[in-house]
Amino acid sequence: MNKYLVHRILIPFLLGLILVSIVGGAVLTRQSASLALKDLAQKKRQALQAGLEEEWSTKSVKIGDKVMKFDYRTFGEKPAAGWDFYISMHGGGGAPAHVNESQWRNQIRLYQPPNSIYLAPRAPTNTWNLWHQSHIDGFFERLILGAVMVKGINLDRVYIMGYSAGGDGVYQLAPRMADRLAAASMMAGHPNNASPLGLRNIGFTIHVGELDGGYKRNKVAMDWRMKLAALRKGDPNGYAHKVKLHKGMGHWMKLRDAEAIDWMSMFTRNPVPKRVVWKQAGVTKPAFYWLAAPKDHVKAGASVIAEREGQVIRILEAHGTEKLTVLLDDRMLDLDKEVTISRDGQILFRGRVERKLETLSRTLNERHDPRLSFSAEVTVDI
């Protein structure tokens, strides 16, 4: 490593880690928490920039023993807040490598979202479930991180979309990665065992050919229309959706599905929504929006519904878990005042919650997203 990297990047980053370890338990004010987050994010950028630039230069990300190639196009002008960012998944699936390679090359040519970076990744495997295996989440999070640091995207305007087997991936990934997304579009795919519950705070659109009877894709799309409509009726501020069967179209919709892009672009992510519906899939997550599961309580199938209003957090439902961590910061409520967490009228916690540098640093390092970083937390038995 050259002297510039040592003195300008590595040493400041290591000093920052030492500082966190020494004063991590220190109580922060609202202002110092904001300044600390900016400083920590800058140090993370300095530490990761070179590696991310190399990935975007080679258009390849390696995690463990798997590699995800990608290609991208830029359309329009960069907005003041940063590019919109679209990740578009190809079809294929359980097919020879050259078939999936061809599908990937085709995907990069399909859509042209305005004022955006449009990226098509090549699935690391050639299996039927190529887009919803557990490694995909980590790859997508890395793509988003690189797009932020190298290309200057807007973290709150990230979208995923996919065709055929790629659409299968959207059905699966959008609910479990919703806290990273503004909206998602599923084209000509099948959900398998996916649940729509986690889609509460993003836009979700489905496009299928009216005649696309393979795997009953058209029928399943209508089933999801009913599910989403029922969820919307019970929760009018959530589950924004649009489901369309394109008349006379089979599995290939002749790009009529491209209308999904304009619909998705109406949505911008809210990283701290008033209500969170968290349903753990087979691929589990340690955190989702402002909720987290303690290490020994991350369980497939577990679900939580929580909402916030003023200084009160209410846990409305909880199944399959006994403990829950509520992540907090001053975007959500006033941490200089008492906070109450309740369930079914029972007070689980009431008191002041301190802002801590350790919490801020840990949540930033866990999700690499300043908008999903929090300065305070409370763990309750539920």
- 334: Cβ–Cβ under 8 A, 6 or more apart, which residues? 311
Listed residue (330, 312, 338) closest to 376, CA to CA:
330
The first and second tokens of residue 179, run together, are: 């806290």
Name the CATH superfamily for 59-264. Answer: Alpha/Beta hydrolase fold, catalytic domain (3.40.50.1820)
Question: How far out from the chain centre does Cα 61 lie?
Answer: 18
> Is the pLDDT reported for residue 239 higher than 80?
yes
- Summarize the chain as % helix, strand, coil (round to 5): 40, 30, 35
State the residue for tokens 């991208």.
72
pTM of the model: 0.93
pLDDT given for residue 47 in this prediction: 96
Listed residue (148, 135, 145) closest to 63, CA to CA:
135
The first and second tokens of residue 172, run together, are: 């699966």
Residue-wise pLDDT for 117-159, tens only, equals 999 999 999 999 999 999 999 999 999 999 999 999 999 999 9
Residue-wise pLDDT for 321-352, tens only, equals 999 999 999 999 999 999 999 999 999 999 99
Distance CA 62, CA 197 (A): 31
Distance CA 76, CA 114 (A): 5
Per domain, the residue ranges of the chain are: 1-45+271-382, 59-264
Distance CA 196, CA 184 (A): 12
* Number of helices followed by number of strands (H, E) in the chain: 9, 19
The first and second tokens of residue 335, run together, are: 């941490």
Residue-wise pLDDT for 17-38, tens only, equals 444 444 446 799 999 999 999 9
pLDDT given for residue 25 in this prediction: 61
